[in-house]
Amino acid sequence: MICGLVSNDCFDKAIDFFHSMRGEGLLPNNFTFPFVLKSCTRNRDFGLGAKVHSLVVKVGSDSDVFVKTGLLGFYAKVENLVDARKMFDDIPEKNVVSWTAMMSGYIGCGDMEKALSIFDEMPEKDIVTWGAIIQGYAANGLPKEALEIFSQMQKQNLKPDCYVTVGVLSACARLGALELGEQASRMMDMNDFLSNPVMGTALLDMYAKCGKMALAWEVFKAMKKKDLVIFNAVMSGLAMTGHVKAAFSCFGLVQKCGLNPDGNTFLALLCACTHAGLVNDGRSYFYGMSSFYYLPHTIEHYGSMVDLLARAGLLDEAHRIISTMPLKANAVVWGALLGGCRLHRNTHLAEHVLKKLIELEPWNSGNYVLLSNIYSANQKWDDSENIRSIMNLKGITKVRGYSWIEVNGIVHEFLVGDTSHPMKDKIYLKLAELAKELREVGYVPTTEFVLFDIEEEEKEHFLGCHSEKIALAFGLITLKSDVVIRIVKNLRVCGDCHTAIKLISKITGREIIVRDTNRFHHFIDGACSCRDYW
């Protein structure tokens, strides 16, 4: 009965049966313990798991490899890696399940270095192992490493399962690697995506984050069962890519299907409002979620609302929301207000916000850099220099901007001023050609976006070497004229690059998509989908 209940994910009932069995005076055996431990693991019941471990020792089952593996899995899942490692080291003949459980424990705690060490030591690996390490890298913000492991797996002639595929698609979504994502999806039957909500959501999300919202919508329409997670994913994609009215219509479809929206639904709606500057709609959704749907506001909802108001220049209202919210504002919320201060050059409020941010994140370079940027934009070079001096004194370094572009299934990464690429000479020659063509159509570099008090000519040099411009030049050289150029950047696109890329799309007749930390920018014939509001 316990085995059957666990196999059908009835973990609470399995534990109830275990207690009933003990009440009858019966002792569990080597067959019982692994299933009970699995129930403790899934319920994250550390207290019961520890008691079961004590019972394992009392009845003499602590030498059984399956019981030890169950204990290892339990301790790893509840992130008690010290005891998990003791169990692991104490197993004389480790099987693939033991190795994978220990590796998964390190992955769960974000220690990918130790996870990879376990992975490399494993004498044999099954598809579950490969899936765990790939998903681990993708979930821990290391998408390039996830795809490198996937490439190793392919060399072993292993067919990916749903877990591998979801991890690969997640990594491709992060990198904007459409070609690789499509290659991975073709390794599975399309029916797997349409009948499995997790896989379907991963494919939809990959298309959306690569700027192919039409394909993401086709996946959504073809899904055999549309639950709220699928709806939320497509709404987020629509919002992110600027299809605001479609996102609102999708919300109406959620209600029409009889589904109850949740917090993620309203996050997608607020995201749509933010990108389009729809303040009144944002207010309606924000306050309506609690008054009409009885959903509590989370810190993410407050952050989105502050972001919406701050971008629109309603800095006082945004500040009031922070001051009156029942939750303690985190760095994301204060950061949203600081972003609005930068956009509207409110140096006085920015200084106040920065003090809050430094309390929360004293070693986050972005806080200092943004204030320095505000001072620079207002020609307050001494104040800007003082901020940089504080950074140097505390040993804080600025996060370097970098961009990714996929060409022929290979993801290339460029840093600001990058000269490490094998094609660097051709890239910089192309940048020089673009600079000449831009000047001929009246483009003047917007040097206020550079953080340094240096000569105009040198400022222009720094602007010309931003990572997205280098990636764009590389794309223009290597991609056919009918291929969309897709770039992903780890920071917000600066105003100068945004202006330059708009003109480049007109000069070259190329379709260019840039995804930064805030939103999608779809450049066609000298115009951007964001309508210069971001």
Q: What is the pLDDT of residues 116-151, one digit of tens each?
A: 999 999 998 999 999 999 999 999 989 999 999 999
This prediction's pTM: 0.80
Cα–Cα distance, 200 to 165 (Å, whole number): 11
Q: What is the pLDDT of residue 464?
A: 61
Q: Rounded to 5 degrees, what angle do the CA atoms 450, 176, 152 make? A: 120
What are 250's two structure tokens? 């999708």
Closest CA to 145 of 174, 182, 109, 125: 174
- For residue 153, count other CB atoms closer than 10 A to its CB: 21
The fold of the 298-399 domain, in CATH, is 1.25.40
Of 181, 106, 100, whose CA–CA distance to 140 is shortest? 106
**How many whole angstroms separate alpha carbon 322 and alpha carbon 196?**
40
Domain ranges of the chain: 1-124, 298-399, 402-528
Q: Which of 195, 191, 188, 219 is nearest to 205 (CA)?
A: 219
Q: Give dist(CA 258, CA 210) in Å, integer.
A: 30
Burial degree of 422 (CB within 10 A; 0-12, 13-18, 19+): exposed
DSSP state of 520: E
Do the first three CATH levels of 1-124 and 298-399 match, i.e. the same topology?
A: yes
What phi, psi does 313 have (nearest 5°)?
90, 5
Quote the CA–CA distance of 425 and 423 in Å, as a whole number: 6
Q: β-strand 485-489 against 512-515: which pairing, if any?
A: parallel
Q: Which two tokens stand for residue 174?
A: 């992060």
395: which 2 tokens? 């040993």
pLDDT of residue 99: 92
Distance (Å, rounded) from C-alpha 158 to C-alpha 37? 31
What amino acid occupies position 61?
A: S
Backbone angles phi, psi at 514, to 5 degrees: -120, 125
Nearest-Å Rg of the Cα atoms of the chain is: 26
Query: So what's the pLDDT on residue 459?
Result: 44
3-state secondary structure 310-337: HHCCCHHHHHHHHHHCCCCCCHHHHHHH
* pLDDT values of the chain reduced to their tens digit, one per residue, 534 residues: 999 999 998 999 999 999 999 999 888 888 899 899 999 888 888 888 889 999 888 888 888 888 888 899 888 888 888 989 988 998 888 888 899 989 999 998 889 999 999 999 999 899 999 999 999 999 998 999 999 999 999 999 899 999 999 999 999 999 888 999 999 999 999 998 999 999 999 999 999 999 899 999 999 999 998 999 999 999 999 998 889 999 999 999 998 999 999 999 999 999 999 988 899 999 999 999 999 999 999 999 999 999 999 999 999 999 999 999 999 999 889 989 988 887 887 888 988 898 898 889 888 777 787 778 777 777 888 888 888 888 888 887 767 778 999 998 889 999 888 889 999 999 999 999 999 999 898 887 765 555 444 343 344 445 568 899 999 999 999 999 999 999 999 888 888 889 999 999 999 999 999 998 877 899 999 998 887 776
Whether residue 87 contacts residue 112, with contact meaning beta carbons closer than 8 Å, is answered with no
Buried-exposed string 359-373: b where 16+ CB fall within 10 A, e elsewhere: ebeeebbbbbbbbbb
Reference 175, options 433, 403, 341; nearest CA is 403
Per-residue tokens: 127: 């598809």
Q: What class is the 1-124 domain?
A: mainly alpha
- DSSP code string of 81-144: HHHHHHHHHH-SS--HHHHHHHHHHHHHTT-HHHHHHHHHH-S---HHHHHHHHHHHHHTT-HH
Pairing of strands 402-407, 527-528: unpaired
